Amino acid sequence: MSVPSSSRSWYHTIDLPDGSTTPGWIDTRPVARLVPWPSSLRGGRCLDVGAFDGFWSFEMERRGAAEVVAIDVDDPEELDFAIDYKAAGPEHIREIRAERGPGFAEAKAALGSSAVRRNRSVYDLDPIEDGRFDVVVCGAILLHLRDPVLALERIREVCDGTLVLVELVDPILELFAPRYPSAAVRPYADQWWVTNSPGMEKMLSMGGWDVVQRCPRFLFPYGPSGPSRPDQSWLTGIAARRPGRRGILGRIWLARPRPK
């Protein structure tokens, strides 16, 4: 089953109380089970950066967060599109009805969630306006940003505890430059950078973070609206130690703000 408004594009696959599931493009439900959630989540104040339909917001709430704040950018014109895609990008988002916000509102109502969503860029996070958080989840957002290090700096300014970073890694760089911090320019209009594991850890360090845990690589599963036959390189399966499987290669890091 799926929610009634399936004509709108859903990014997240979210289980709803009536037994239905939103028809997401990606399915992060099994990924959430791989996260070594910090104990400060339960009863803590938590932030979901780049929330989209709100999967991570509702997941933190389900796991006992006392307060969840979600941020994302409502206006497609304000997203980090490259110069040659500044007109076509927002137009495409509206065309496929993939705006940020409506899905979050619908899922929140269905779940009876108390999560608060704010129209706010990660670049604008401020401890005076936003307060401070015990746990921050940043789920596959950095690759969409022109300046991921600046984003990490801004997140650090509002985090008193743990950053849970769920991000893509490049299988070619991961396999052929496993120890050299590296990044590649993504060949997609709404994306910028993808790194190998040392590259991501270097960006975290440059943003003022100390990595406390690196989890094994995994493949992001697709949701009901995702491609039935993924066309990713066979290298993703090898990098995830699942030969023959294709998908989006990801990794989870836990990091804490480095003292100033």
242, 219 contact by CB (below 8 A): yes
Residue 3 in domain: no
What separation, in Å, do the N-terminal and C-terminal C-alpha atoms of the chain show?
Answer: 50
Nearest to 9 by CA among 72, 58, 56, 52: 52
Higher per-residue confidence, 77 vs 163? 163
Q: Give residue-wise pLDDT tens across range 193-204.
A: 999 999 999 999
Supply the CATH number for residue 96's domain: 3.40.50.150
Query: Containing domain of residue 41, as a range?
Result: 10-257
Higher per-residue confidence, 138 vs 187? 138
Can you tell me the mean pLDDT for 178-188? 86
Residue 252, Cα to own-chain centre: how many angstroms? 11
Higher per-residue confidence, 104 vs 239? 104
Residue 92 in domain: yes
How confident is the model at residue 187, as a pLDDT?
61
Q: Give residue-wise pLDDT tens across range 217-228.
A: 998 888 998 877
238 pLDDT band, cuts 50/70/90, is confident
Residue 66 in domain: yes
Q: Give residue-wise pLDDT tens across range 109-148.
A: 999 999 999 999 999 999 999 999 999 999 999 999 999 9
d(CA 225, CA 13): 9
Check whether 25 has a pLDDT greater than 60.
Answer: yes
How confident is the model at residue 147, as a pLDDT?
96
d(CA 16, CA 12): 12
How confident is the model at residue 243, as a pLDDT?
66
**Mean pLDDT over the full length of the chain:** 91
194, 170 contact by CB (below 8 A): yes
74, 119 contact by CB (below 8 A): yes
Residue 4 in domain: no
How confident is the model at residue 185, as a pLDDT?
87
Domain count, the chain: 1
Can you tell me the mean pLDDT for 73-101? 87
Amino acid (one-letter) located at 177 = A
How confident is the model at residue 218, as a pLDDT?
92
Check whether 4 has a pLDDT greater than 50.
Answer: no
Residue 164 in domain: yes
How confident is the model at residue 136, as a pLDDT?
98
Listed in sequence order, the residues at least 6 apart from 59 whose beta carbon sits closer than 8 Å to its beta carbon are 32
Give a three-class secondary structure readout of 57-107.
HHHHHHCCCCEEEEEECCCHHHCCCCHHHCCHHHHHHHHCCCCCCHHHHHH
Check whether 211 has a pLDDT greater than 60.
Answer: yes
136 sits in which H/E element: strand 133-139
How confident is the model at residue 3, as a pLDDT?
43
Residue 110 in domain: yes
Residue 85 in domain: yes
How confident is the model at residue 1, as a pLDDT?
38
d(CA 132, CA 46): 9
Residue 5 in domain: no
Q: Give residue-wise pLDDT tens across range 68-85.
A: 999 999 998 999 888 888
